[in-house]
Structure 1
């Protein structure tokens, strides 16, 4: 049985959700700095694949009807709610493209739709031998790029392209992950991470769309050999994911508990990020190192605030469809009143 509160996995979740927010904070300024652009694309080689792999690791449940109903409650209902809320919010901000429709996920909401789809695909794929399933999943991910009609609608492109990482996470055991902690592997991981960063820096015209997995090869400018390019991305992302997970600490820290609430951060941080983008807040790019520190501080603050108890109490009905936090608060208040009397 999986220990869902294992410090290693919560630390991984905290690191990855921070990097998601960090990347979104930094993105508008990457065009003004080659160093920031390199860092941005370096992060995108692994932060979503790693996040998806962790999600797959915890998808060990069965595929019966009650399981599917629970997925609908946990993933599709929040998706519909936040799709409507974000659409209204974008309209109020005057953001273009706000009228995307229910089946064109607003910005980061694609993850909920895809996560539900990955669970459904898993019902079939887990019946096959791991190697066969992985080969088929990768092949499908390579092929879909040749179809221009498979894009952001229903989050289809990202669903198929990122599914191999979810399936990999399903088949991976904790023992496999702990082998990444061996010294030779950690040393090799540093070499890999440096080489990937250097490779990105030496290819300034590299289209970040390859890492976002939402566009066809034709749009990316490689209609013929796009599959080869995506295969290289798969290999790079797998190596980078393993390299980063090798350095995730196993012991608990004061911030480890934030790993329990990453869904809150993921769904809510878009309100802040999109507000900052629409308001076009200027950040002068003078020193890339200093800029990174500023972005780090802003991202860390967003993650902390959105994982605090008051925010969770307010948004729990929307995100989890329950009010357990309010019930616990009321019970605690009742207990305190009884003790005082």
Structure 2
């Protein structure tokens, strides 16, 4: 499949915003505007990223629906590498030794484990006549559980599932609709409406737990009907924001378009610098705890970090971590040269 600039633009822009949100997250409660910006970005950045993962996981002629070699090389082995790495770094920062649970994702590794489970389930979704409503019902029903276990990132795996399935059912004509002039003119208002709704709800009715998909109704301390209502409202708001975000993005090739091919590098590797930044104590500086200083300064740091991690020299240097050499484990190592 020929690379399309729009998708590379979307992948890098989405992952760069994820880095921004994670960089701003420690200040969520310090300033209401910062909190609203963080939660607005959280409402659509990961959904867009996951939807694109689903779109590129669509079955293609001459390629199996579940390619075991690709999953091992691109998800299983990197998950194990970063699960160990993040647990070791966590033990050092916390000065506390302990076992490394392989099925309880640490920090950012939940995405690799969830993506593995979603990719394995592709044949199930492609066999259904209406896969998206089924995925939505599963996600909405998950809130009735007493609690999400730590294993398999179950909360996020089920909560974000509709976005992956949405990617599976999307076709090029759907993205073409977002490129229409009328849609592109209205798109900024969609993002503004999302921000206004989040600002009105935060911090009284909305916190990060709702948008990170980590809590059932019981874990969030609300009744299931309330959880269901909020989850549906957030889902519709996230869909509006995600569509608006894709509509405002340029579809042509830009100077940073090529960085989209390294979006997974940015996602997996940005956690280590952020943990170091948090450990430095800089977040305690009073001057950096206001919207007019925190948003531009930490935002510039986050964007710079995203660009740095996506540059070709960084990719070459860090490839052994993100794409470990596992050819000897595979029967068909040639599949590793195809795009994920």
- Interval of TM-score (by shorter of Structure 1 and Structure 2): 0.7 to 0.9
Q: Secondary structure of 2:127's partner?
A: coil
- Is residue 147–residue 215 contact of structure 2 (8 Å, CA) maintained in 1? no
Give CA deviations for 1:58-91 in whole Å, capped at 9, x if unaligned: 0123684871232122101100111011111111
Report the CA distance between 1:207 and its aligned residue: 2.2
1:47-62 to structure 2, matched below 5 A, reads 47-61=45-59
In the other structure, the counterpart of 2:89 is 89
In the other structure, the counterpart of 1:335 is none
In the other structure, the counterpart of 1:230 is 231
1:34 aligns with 2:32: yes
In the other structure, the counterpart of 1:153 is 151
- Structure 2 unaligned blocks of 5 or more: 328-340
TM-score, L = length of structure 2: 0.88
1:1-341 to structure 2, matched below 5 A, reads 2-3=1-2, 5-61=3-59, 64=64, 67-94=67-94, 101-129=101-129, 132-204=130-202, 205=204, 206-225=206-225, 226-281=227-282, 282-283=284-285, 284-285=287-288, 288-322=291-325
- Is residue 15–residue 46 contact of structure 2 (8 Å, CA) maintained in 1? no
Q: How many residues align?
A: 320
- Structure 1 unaligned blocks of 5 or more: 325-341
Report the CA distance between 1:100 and its aligned residue: 5.8
Matches of 2:97 and 2:23, distance apart in 1: 20
Matches of 1:209 and 1:300, distance apart in 2: 24
- Is residue 56–residue 167 contact of structure 1 (8 Å, CA) maintained in 2? yes
Per chain length, whose mean CA-contact separation is higher, i.e. which structure has more relative contact order (CA < 8 Å, sep 6+)?
2
Give the direction of change, closer, same or farther, for the CA distance of 1:286–1:103 in structure 2 (3 Å limit): closer
- Is residue 95–residue 278 contact of structure 1 (8 Å, CA) maintained in 2? no
Report the CA distance between 1:31 and its aligned residue: 1.4
Matches of 2:220 and 2:50, distance apart in 1: 23
Matches of 2:18 and 2:99, distance apart in 1: 25
The range that moved more, 259-268 or 64-73, is: 64-73
Report the CA distance between 1:166 and its aligned residue: 0.8
TM-score, L = length of structure 1: 0.88
